[in-house]
Every structure is written in C-alpha cells, then in structure tokens.
C-alpha cells in the first residue's frame, strides 16, 4: 500500500536517494533541506520545500506544507538531516562548530518530531505512524576526532529510547543506523577512503524496505540497514 513519507535533509546524500527510491516504489514523499530548489545538484524524489531543521519557524512552515500536500499527517517521518564536524580532537573543535552540530543533529530531530507529535495529538484521527531518527555506527561506538558527532548520535539513541516509553499506541519511534555509505558527509570524515563504500542509490534499494517494515512492535528499537 502506498505510504505518505516526510523526510528531512533530501537535498543530497542518503535523504535524496531514499526520496527517489520511495517515489519509484509509488510512495508519496515530501522532503526538504536548506539548499534552495534552484541550487539542487541532483534529482530529488517527491516534493521539495525549503527547511532548516534547527529553526522552529521553518519547521512550522514545512510541516504546514507537508499537511497541505498529504491532506493528513504522514505515515512515516524520517529525521535524516545532520552534519558532521571537521575531524579534530575535542579540545580543538571551535565552540561555534560544536554548537552547530548539536543544533542540526539533536535540536533538529527534536523539533521535527515535536512538530509531528503536537499535530498528531491535535488530530481527531490519531493515525498509526512511525518516526525514524537516523543514528550511526557512531551512535553505538566511538572514534577519535568525531566527538561532537558521536555526542549527537548517542544522544539520538537516548532520545529514541525515552520517547518510545512516552509514545501512545499506535505510534512508534526507531533509531536507524544506515551503515557506511559514500556521501559528502563520509568524504568529510573518511577523505579518499570514502570511495571504498557503496553509493547512496544502491543503499536506498536496501534501506527502503527496512524503513517500510516498522510497526508499533518496533517501538524503541535500535536497528540497522543490512
């Protein structure tokens, strides 16, 4: 059955590939990121509406547009938008950069889920829905030089586990580790080593069925794309 799916961070990388794949599979997709439509470098699946996940006004406008397009709330929300710090030991990370990573990766997911949940509680239908937060291998393990990023992805795992205990049935929230995929983010931290990993479109073929498989029984799970 065709699903209505909202995805943040669809201007490139995993978000763009997932949007294209889900649209190919006949699902209705609504995405967005900060890049203006005219500056997009790749085809983006579904609808695209400017969004800065860190800005509550932008989130509000984007969620209004999602509801207008779908005529209801989505069945699946994928909080995918995120940033990584430039490789450096923690004591050399500029304060501003640390704050920027926290804002995008944690506050951004909080605002995305809060917009959905406030609207869901207001709705008469209170339909089943699944919230998915992109975690990482670095949300379950650590490496040097990426402490700000690890901080946020371990935070995502905590946010998901706690939120899962609050969510009423039939809602569910899941933390999804996508695996390692050759995107701009990976190139930033792995350099040329990123070339050894698969591309986002190949990843999306495996990720789409995973994302479509979650149910209320999945609530609180930490999962991975195989």
Residue 149 appears among annotated catalytic residues: yes
User: Minimum distance between the CB of residue 80 and ligand NAP, rounded to whole angstroms?
Assistant: 5
For the chain, give the secondary structure using H, E and C. Answer: CCCEEEEECCCCHHHHHHHHHHHHCCCEEEEECCCCHHHCCCCCCCEECCCCCCCHHHHHHHHHHHHHHHCCCCCEEEECCCCCCCCCCHHHCCHHHHHHHHHHHHHHHHHHHHHHHHHHHHCCCCCCEEEEEECCHHHCCCCCCCHHHHHHHHHHHHHHHHHHHHCCCCEEEEEEECCCCCCHHHHHHHHHHHHHCCCHHHHHHHHHHHHHCCCHHHCCCEEECC
Residue closer to ligand NAP, measured from CB, 98 or 126: 98
Q: Which residue is nearest to ligand NAP (CB)?
A: 13
Q: Which residue, 8 or 115, has its beta carbon nearer to ligand NAP?
A: 8
- Taking the complex as a whole, the smallest distance from the CB of residue 27 to ligand NAP amounts, in Å, to 19
Could you list the residues that contact ligand NAP (CB under 6 A)?
Answer: 8-15, 33-35, 51-54, 80-83, 104, 108, 134, 136, 178, 180-181, 183-186
Comparison of 67 and 103: residue with beta carbon closer to ligand NAP: 103
Name the catalytic one among 48, 149, 197, 214: 149
Among 184, 185, 186, 173, CA closest to 223: 173
3 vs 34, beta carbon nearer ligand NAP: 34
Q: How far is the CB of 66 from ligand NAP (least distance, A)?
A: 14
Least distance between ligand NAP and beta carbon 55 (Å):
8
Which residues carry out catalysis? 149
């Amino acid at each position: 059955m065709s699903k209505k799916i909202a995805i943040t961070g669809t201007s490139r990388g995993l978000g763009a590939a997932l949007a294209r794949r889900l649209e190919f599979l006949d699902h209705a997709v609504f995405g967005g990121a900060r890049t203006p439509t005219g500056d997009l470098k790749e085809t983006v699946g579904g609808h695209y509406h400017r969004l800065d996940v860190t800005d509550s006004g932008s989130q509000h406008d984007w969620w209004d547009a999602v509801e207008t397009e779908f005529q209801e709330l989505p069945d699946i929300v994928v909080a995918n938008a995120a940033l990584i710090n430039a490789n450096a030991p923690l004591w050399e990370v500029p304060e501003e950069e640390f704050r920027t990573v926290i804002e995008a990766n944690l506050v951004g997911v909080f605002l995305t889920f809060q917009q959905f949940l406030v609207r869901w509680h207001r709705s008469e239908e209170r339909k089943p829905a699944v919230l998915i937060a992109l975690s990482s291998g670095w949300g379950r393990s650590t490496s040097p030089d990426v402490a700000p990023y690890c901080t946020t992805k371990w935070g995502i795992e905590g946010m998901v586990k706690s939120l899962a205990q609050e969510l009423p049935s039939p809602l569910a929230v899941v933390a999804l580790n996508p695996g390692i995929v050759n995107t701009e983010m990976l190139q930033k931290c792995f350099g040329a080593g990123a070339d050894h990993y698969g591309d986002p479109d190949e990843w999306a073929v495996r990720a789409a069925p995973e994302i479509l498989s979650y149910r209320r029984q999945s609530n609180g799970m930490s999962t991975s794309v195989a």
